[in-house]
């Protein structure tokens, strides 16, 4: 038995994530193509189970096989059987003990925010569009409160199954190049929706809805409180995942426009407030009852 590692890139527009129960998934496409190529039942294991609509430049997966095809040649043979929106960038044989989800790793996420008055169509799949001017200094100050080891129970949704909510943030930067703002966060691991909640909170602070000190306050509040702001990022984001430092990395790009009018939708069942910034209007905050 041999274990083969794949570096997988894909445009996730047509897929229901890596491993979701409904619809066509990346995992399903890879399993079918590999099983056909190798004439055996193949089940891949992915390093990151990306959500519906997420793109990847280098997600990592492994599978076991009895095939004698050289590991570095499998990518070429497999690509001939894959659809145009899925490609294997590299393949190699690794030890049977190698597991993409259990290696010692640092995970890094990047959120791209296009901050200008008019959206750019070529950026729409790879960045979140924000009409309102964002104050970079306020966002940077707010980000500094999260560096280090903290209990992030207030920065995850109520659906999280994690018993331990303490995580370590190694770095959290907010930078800007032309109209594009990048929020980059590296840590030991993240809770369910934790990173998008942090990114959404930073955007709200950049818009002036909350002061930078709000971030520190949220660290000491009840579970899920930060999701009032952060689930804004059920929308577009760009993510980079770095595993085992120099072993491999993967970049993901989420492209979920909220609706046809550019508003940011937040599920009322998850939140106490609903924030709807519409283009051409002032931000509105609507208080909702606790359910």
Q: What share of the chain is helix, strand, coil (3-state, %, to 5)?
A: 25, 30, 45
Sign (positive/negative) of CA torsion 51, 210, 186, 88? positive
**Catalytic residue set:** 51
By DSSP bridging, strand 2-10 and strand 86-94 are antiparallel
Rounded alpha-carbon distances, angstroms, from residue 23 to 26, 53, 57, 183: 10, 12, 22, 31
C-beta of residue 223 within 8 angstroms of C-beta of residue 158? yes
d(C-alpha 105, C-alpha 168), whole Å: 12
Phi-psi region of 160 (alpha: psi -120 to 50; beta: other; left: phi over 0): beta
């Amino acid at each position: 038995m041999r274990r083969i590692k794949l570096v997988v890139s894909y445009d996730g527009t047509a897929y229901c994530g890596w491993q979701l129960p409904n619809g066509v998934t990346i995992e399903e496409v890879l399993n079918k193509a590999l099983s056909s190529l190798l004439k055996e039942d193949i089940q891949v294991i992915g390093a990151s189970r990306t959500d519906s609509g997420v793109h990847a430049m280098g997600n990592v997966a492994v599978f076991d096989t009895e095939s004698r095809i050289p590991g570095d040649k499998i990518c070429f043979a497999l690509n001939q059987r894959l659809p145009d929106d899925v490609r294997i960038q590299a393949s190699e044989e690794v030890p049977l003990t190698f597991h993409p989800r259990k290696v010692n790793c640092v995970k890094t996420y990047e959120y791209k925010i296009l901050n200008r008055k008019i959206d750019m169509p070529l950026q729409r799949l790879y960045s979140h569009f924000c009409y309102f001017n964002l104050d970079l200094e306020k966002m940077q100050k707010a980000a500094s409160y999260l560096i280090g080891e903290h209990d992030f129970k207030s920065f995850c949704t109520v659906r999280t199954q994690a018993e331990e909510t303490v995580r370590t943030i190694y770095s959290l930067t907010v930078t800007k190049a032309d109209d594009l703002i990048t929020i980059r966060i590296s840590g030991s691991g993240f809770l369910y929706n934790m990173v998008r909640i942090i990114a959404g909170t930073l955007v709200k602070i950049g818009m002036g809805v909350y002061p930078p000190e709000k971030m520190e306050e949220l660290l000491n509040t009840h579970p899920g409180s930060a999701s009032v702001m952060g689930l804004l990022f059920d929308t577009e984001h760009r993510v980079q995942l770095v595993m085992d430092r120099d072993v491999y990395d993967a970049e993901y790009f989420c492209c979920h426009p909220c609706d046809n009018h550019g508003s940011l939708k937040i599920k009322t069942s998850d939140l106490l407030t609903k924030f709807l910034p519409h283009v051409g209007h002032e931000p509105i905050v609507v208080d909702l009852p606790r359910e």
